[in-house]
Amino acid sequence: MEADETTEIMRAPRLHVEDLDPGRGRVVLSRPRAHYLGTVLRLGVGDPVRVFSAATGEFAARIHALDRRQAVLELGERLRAPAPVRGPELWFAPIRRTRLEWLVEKATELGAVRLVPVLTRRTVVTLRRPERLAAIAEEAAEQCERLDVPEVAAPRPLCAALAERPAGRPLLFAEERSAAPPLARVLADLATDEVTVLVGPEGGFAPEEREALGARADVRPVSLGPAILRSETAAICALAGIRLLTEGEVLP
């Protein structure tokens, strides 16, 4: 690939294609994707794009045909091979829509591999459109150069989620106003980013929920500092800390 062509391709928009099959040579995109390419991005036949999936990696492509019904892409060379998907899960109590959508976007950018809305006794927000959160996660993955898109699980009660939870992945319970060890110390002990982060609702966890958490051997309370953080701030603080600490960065 020529240098100018490489630059052109790497500046091209990225599209996540779940069933991407390089063996077919072409990708057919549905009406919403055709609308996005033609109307929103104002692209046309011959313009470059990039397509990716966690299973097959990322490929250069060009628009072969485009109308209101569909878009057809001609696949080119593979730009990135697939890589193992690893990183933290995020469990969170639903919060107000605009703040929740922001949280999903930033959690995706920070490498969360799974997003699980958990319903607690003090949760006051009803999650009406989980598919909207999945679309936000997909768009964020396209923008931040990820090869995978985090799963957005169906909402479930906290105690049920704990009961269904497989053993082996530590759960870090962000507990405010406690003598819990700081996040950095716990991560150093665990020496892994394969953890689950749990942040509660704005009213905090109910006593029976704290008891259920404390009864599990795989739950580790952690402190995110002395300040009382909003739910979305606590989640981003924890995810950013995990990313920096497990990638070997030195915090100032």
pLDDT digits (tens, 9 = 90+) for 3-16: 666 778 788 999 99
Residue 76 near residue 20, CB atoms below 8 Å: no
- Asked whether 146 and 53 are in contact (CB, 8 A), the reply is no
**SS3 category, 68:** coil
Q: Are 20 and 53 in contact (CB under 8 A)?
A: yes
Average pLDDT over residues 200-225: 85
Q: Which CATH class for the 89-246 domain?
A: alpha beta
Question: d(Cα 59, Cα 21) in Å, to the nearest integer?
Answer: 10
Whole-structure pTM value? 0.88
Q: What is the pLDDT of residue 249?
A: 47
Express as a percent the part of the chain with pLDDT over 90: 54
Stretch 151-169: mean pLDDT, rounded? 87
Alpha helices in 2-70 (DSSP H): 3-10, 31-35
pLDDT for 38-69, tens place per residue?
999 999 999 999 999 999 999 999 999 999 89
- In the predicted structure, residue 23 carries a pLDDT above the cut 60: yes
Strand partners, 80: 58
Cα separation, 165 vs 173, in Å, equals 14
Q: What is the rounded average pLDDT of the residues 113-121?
A: 92
Return the beta strands (E) in 37-109 as ranges. 48-53, 57-66, 71-80, 89-92
Architecture of the CATH domain 3-80: Beta Barrel (2.40)
